[in-house]
Amino acid sequence: MKELIQEIPNDILTILKNYQINQDDIIILAKGDLDLHGYNSTSYVLGTKDALITINAEEDSVSYLENKDIEKLTCEQLVSSGILVATVNGDDLILCQFTNSVLRDFNLFCKLFEKVKRGQTLEERDYKAHELPRTCPKCGSLYEDPVRKICPKCFDKRKIFFRVLSYVPKYKFQIILMLILMLISSGLNVFIPYLTGNIFYDEVLKQEGELFGKIGFIVISIAIVKLLATLISILYGRINSTFSSKVIYDLKTEIFNALQKLSLSFFNNKQTGTLMNNVNGDAMNLQYFFHDGVPYFIVNIIQFIGIFTIMMIINWKLTLLALLPIPLVTYALKKLFPILEVLYNRMFRQNSALNSIISDSINGSRVVKAFGREEAEIKRFSVVNRRSYEVNVNVNRINQTVFPLIYFFMGTSGLIIWSIGSWLVVNDQLTFGSLISFTGYIGMLLGPLEFMTRITDWWSSCMNSASRIFEILDTVPEVEEHKDATVLPNIKGDITFKNVSFEYEPNKPILKEINFDIKAGEMIGLVGHTGAGKSTLANLICRLYDVKEGQITIDGIDIRDISLHSLHTQIGFVLQETYLFMGSIAENIAYARPDATREEIIEAAKIANAHDFIMKLPEGYDTVIGIRGQSLSGGEKQRIAIARAVLLNPRILILDEATASLDTETEKQIQEALERLVKGRTTISIAHRLSTLKNADRLFVLENGQIKESGTHEELMKLKGIYFNLVKKQNEALRLRGV
């Protein structure tokens, strides 16, 4: 938005001067792309601390409204466009119309206008609250994903290539050594046909040759040259294996580190199989790039230049005739390259979808079998597997059709050499040794040329993998830590929400103008229907997402000014669905505090009522549990999660449906553990069974993203409002179930 203010056209500034408004007076701005009749046209809506001005220079229309006269400013989304509506003296005035591509800008404009009208000073974070560029600044195309900011039209493969090479400089010594070895190896290999051709036939076997009869000498010489080339090749291969593996090790580490820093919103719409492919499959493709691709490209270029030079020296006319098929091959590769690029992209997407289905089916095997959905899963797998098969068949058919034809045309070089070369030998214009050398060099030349034909395949695969990796590395986290973020000492646990609003998608608010204060050590219960925003509110306290408007403070400090690690070590989270990692029970309890002693782990387990069942396991605390802890019951997993929170010893505790879906006896044990856990901590509890919140200091009742009621259990029951009705309905449901 600030950039738009700086780029206001001169004709608009001229109009503003008629109202005694300078560019510096403008605080907020939105740029529309339709006129009031729905035709393409540029309009500006500008706000100062006193007025709201709408200008359409093309139609020469200006609307000027004083802020004090505007009762409400709203952005309304229509089917294919949106309108900005100002309510003045009870009447609605349409100020501007625009396409949905700039809807987010006008939503932000309305929210900032309310702050300006209230006399609040706008901060940098207010402008950025909704500001995610949706279009590419170069070509104007919409980003497929605004968070990634990757434009498919402007994605330059050459830049990707050089960026991949940027991982290489730290290994300068190995690269220099490999280049020297490649030069020596290529030189020796290029020299061998000359030995077996010109020297052997023209110098050793001919009586007039300088080395006539020295067959043993030349055979030993050829053997020594081949042995040296082999030894150098082995040394080069060993160095290259270490180098390429280390580069990919660094790259995988960087990808995984980047994934850990990304906001939770990044993972919401991502398939597990796709991300696994990014870390493993794409990284392995790039290992081929470093291990076989670039090195052999350099080797083949060196060999091609060396072979071409020697062939030109032997007979330049015959050399040019031998290279006649190359223009045809080059043209074929130019046409083939974009087709393969599209197909490899499609193949990756289908393989990722296939991996995701396999991952889902394995991780959800208990659910699949419990509902007897094996056949359905097989059918789901078959559909995607069929698509993957069809794409793979297309790629392989093209490869197996086009490349043999290319090799055939390249092989015609040998026919040209044998036919014309033999005629030259018969007419004493070329020695027999030179012809043998020439045919040897043509055979060697076919190797580099065949590699160059395969380079399209290699390039497409590697660059597509690199582009996907860099998309992850370049993704900007929505939740970012300031450089000068505050590291919290031990906190008291006061929490304040000031005018907090939040939405996952534009124009679909989840929380609206939330205001409350929680004192340190207080227990708050969050109540409401499913989708009311309870879990979202808890996620905002942990800063898993950033508020779109307003402020959340802990001990008076805005959580956006607190370092993320410092914030998360002060907050404990016990969820309904506990995630346990592959490892021992002790390791899972100590996940939040890896340096915890065994005595501290056992003490935490005792507080969580988990010690007794752990000791009954075969290896006790050292018992290894599978991914997600599928060998444990729901209550056992929940008690391990509570032990994990106990060990962290947080000042703020969030319980999100921590006792849901458990039997009565297990719930009682967990409730006892939670009562011990919440003592002396600021606790926010979301519970399905409202009876578990009776002892809360206060209850907040959420409905449609707003706090409609607040008070103790007794106060809200006397009020006979939303909470009263929820309790009444739940008691009736429990009575019907005989609970």
Distance, in Å, from the CA atom of 580 to the CA atom of 585, rounded to the nearest integer, reads: 9
pLDDT band of 370, cuts 50, 70, 90: low
CA–CA distance, 511 with 550 (Å, rounded to integer):
11
Confidence (pLDDT) at 515: 92
Q: What is the CA radius of gyration of the chain?
A: 36
**Phi/psi at 252 (5° precision):** -60, -40
Instruction: Give bridge partners of residue 88 from the DSSP assignment.
Output: 70, 91
The answer to whether 637 and 575 have CB atoms below 8 angstroms apart is no
DSSP state of 701: E
- Residue 268 CA from chain centroid, whole number: 11
pLDDT band at 231 (very low <50, low <70, confident <90, very high): very high
Q: DSSP state, 562?
A: B
| Residue located via tokens 């070369």 | 421
511's CB contacts (< 8 A; 6+ apart) are 500, 501, 502, 533, 536, 537, 540, 705, 706
At 183, list the tokens.
Answer: 């030069």
Check whether 296 has a pLDDT greater than 90. no
What CA–CA distance (Å, rounded) separates 442 from 448?
Answer: 10
Q: For 222-227, what is the mean pLDDT?
A: 88
Which pLDDT belongs to residue 157?
A: 64
Q: What are the tens digits of pLDDT across the range 247-256? A: 778 878 887 8
Average pLDDT of span 415-424: 80
Token look-up 């020296």 returns 313
Sign of CA dihedral 114, 117, 120, 122: positive
What pLDDT is recorded for position 497? Answer: 93
Phi, psi of 625 (to 5 degrees): -110, 150
Return the residue matching tokens 């229509």.
78
Question: pLDDT class for 272, splitting at 50, 70, 90?
Answer: low
Residues 36-71 have pLDDT tens digits of 877 888 888 888 888 898 888 666 678 888 888 998
Average pLDDT over residues 455-467: 73
Cα–Cα distances in angstroms (integers) from residue 60 to residues 34, 35, 67, 378, in the given order = 14, 11, 22, 64
CB 185 within 8 A of CB 232: yes
Q: What is the mean pLDDT of residues 495-515?
A: 84
**Token digits of residue 269:** 């719409």
- For residue 152, what are the contacts with CB-CB under 8 A and spacing of at least 6? 141, 144
State the residue for tokens 């492919």.
277
> How deeply is 528 buried, as exposed, middle or buried, from its count of CB atoms within 10 A (0-12, 13-18, 19+)?
buried
Tens digit of each residue's pLDDT (9 = 90 or more) over 431-457: 888 888 877 887 777 667 667 666 766
pLDDT higher than 80, residue 295: no
In the block, which residue shows the tokens 């559909």?
383
Tokens linked to 98: 């625009």
CA distances (Å), 413 to each of 409, 418, 447, in order?
8, 9, 13
560 pLDDT more than 80: yes
Question: 665 falls in which pLDDT band (50, 70, 90)?
Answer: low
Q: What is the DSSP letter of 290?
A: I
Q: Using CA atoms, how far apart are residues 134 and 141, in angstroms rounded to an integer?
A: 8
With beta carbons less than 8 A apart as the criterion, state whether 449 and 442 touch. Answer: no
Judge contact between 109 and 103, C-beta under 8 A: no
Long-range pairs for 703-710 at CB < 8 Å and ≥24 separation? 703/528, 703/529, 703/532, 704/512, 704/532, 705/509, 705/510, 705/511, 705/512, 705/514, 705/532, 705/533, 706/511, 706/512, 706/513, 706/514, 707/514, 707/515, 707/516, 710/516
Residue type, 391: V
Q: Is the pLDDT of residue 278 over 70?
A: no
Q: What is the dihedral of CA 342, 345, 350, 354, to 10 degrees?
A: 160
Q: What is the 3-state secondary structure (H, E, C) of 86-155?
A: EEECCEEEEEEEEEHHHHHHHHHHHHHHHHHHCCCCCCHHHHHCCCCCCECCCCCCECCCCCCCCCCCCC
Neighbours of 707 (CB within 10 A): 21
| Average pLDDT of span 452-468 | 71
Separation of alpha carbons 368 and 385, rounded Å: 19
The answer to whether residues 52 and 65 touch, using CB atoms and an 8 Å cutoff, is yes
Q: At what angle do helices 215-261 and 172-194 cross, to 10 degrees?
A: 150
- In the chain, the domains with their CATH numbers are 1-118 (2.30.29.30), 495-737 (3.40.50.300)
In the structure, what pLDDT confidence band is assigned to residue 569 with cuts at 50, 70 and 90? confident
Residue 380 amino acid letter: R
Query: Packing angle between helix 215-261 and helix 432-474, nearest 10 degrees?
Result: 10
Interval 161-173 mean pLDDT: 77
Provide the pLDDT confidence category of residue 552 given band limits of 50, 70 and 90: very high
3-state helix, strand, coil in the chain (%, to 5): 60, 15, 25
pLDDT value of residue 376: 78
Cα–Cα distance, 423 to 29 (Å, whole number) = 82
Q: For 343-365, what is the mean pLDDT?
A: 75
Q: Residue 320: pLDDT band by 50, 70, 90 thresholds? A: confident
When pLDDT is cut at 50, 70 and 90, the band that residue 516 belongs to is: very high
φ/ψ of residue 21, rounded to 5: -115, 125
Name the pLDDT band for 495 (thresholds 50, 70, 90).
very high
At 78-100, the pLDDT tens digits run: 777 888 999 988 888 888 888 87
Task: Give CA–CA dist 489/637, Å, rounded.
Answer: 31
* Amino acid, res. 663: D
Among 642, 686, 636, 625, smallest CA distance to 662 is for: 636
CA distance 420 to 511: 83
Phi/psi for 578 (5° steps) reads: -80, 130
Q: Which residue has the tokens 């197996």?
A: 400
- pLDDT for res 694: 81
Which band of pLDDT confidence, cut at 50, 70 and 90, is reported for residue 291? confident
**What Å distances lie between residue 249 and 235, 245, 362, CA to CA?**
21, 6, 28
Q: Is the pLDDT of residue 119 over 80?
A: yes
Do strands 523-528 and 508-518 pair parallel, antiparallel, or not at all (unpaired)? unpaired
Give the pLDDT mean for 8-16: 77
- Would you say residue 549 has pLDDT above 90? no
* Distance separating alpha carbons of residues 605 and 236, to the nearest angstrom: 55
Encoded tokens for 256: 């995984």
What whole-number distance in Å separates Cα of residue 641 and Cα of residue 670? 11
- Average pLDDT of the chain is 79
> Tokens 């005739």 map to which residue?
321
Mean local confidence (pLDDT), 695-716: 89
* Nearest in space to 99 (alpha carbons), one of 134, 70, 64: 134
Report whether pLDDT(466) > 70: yes
pTM (2 d.p.): 0.60
In this prediction, residue 496 carries a pLDDT of: 93
To 10 degrees, the CA torsion angle through 21, 23, 26, 32?
100
Task: Output the CA–CA distances (angstroms, integers) from residue 465 to 289, 350, 458, 469, 555, in the order listed.
Answer: 10, 14, 11, 6, 46
- Statement: residue 3 has pLDDT above 60: no
Asked if residues 182 and 243 have their Cβ atoms less than 8 Å apart, the reply is: no
Percent of the chain at pLDDT exceeding 90: 4
Helix (H) or strand (E) holding 406: helix 374-426
CA distance 299 to 340: 25
Task: Name the pLDDT band for 135 (thresholds 50, 70, 90).
Answer: low
Higher pLDDT, 719 or 202: 719
Q: Locate all alpha helices (DSSP H) within 206-271, ordered by sequence.
A: 215-261, 264-268
> Measuring CA to CA, how many Å separate 18 from each of 42, 49, 347, 395, 503?
20, 17, 60, 65, 39
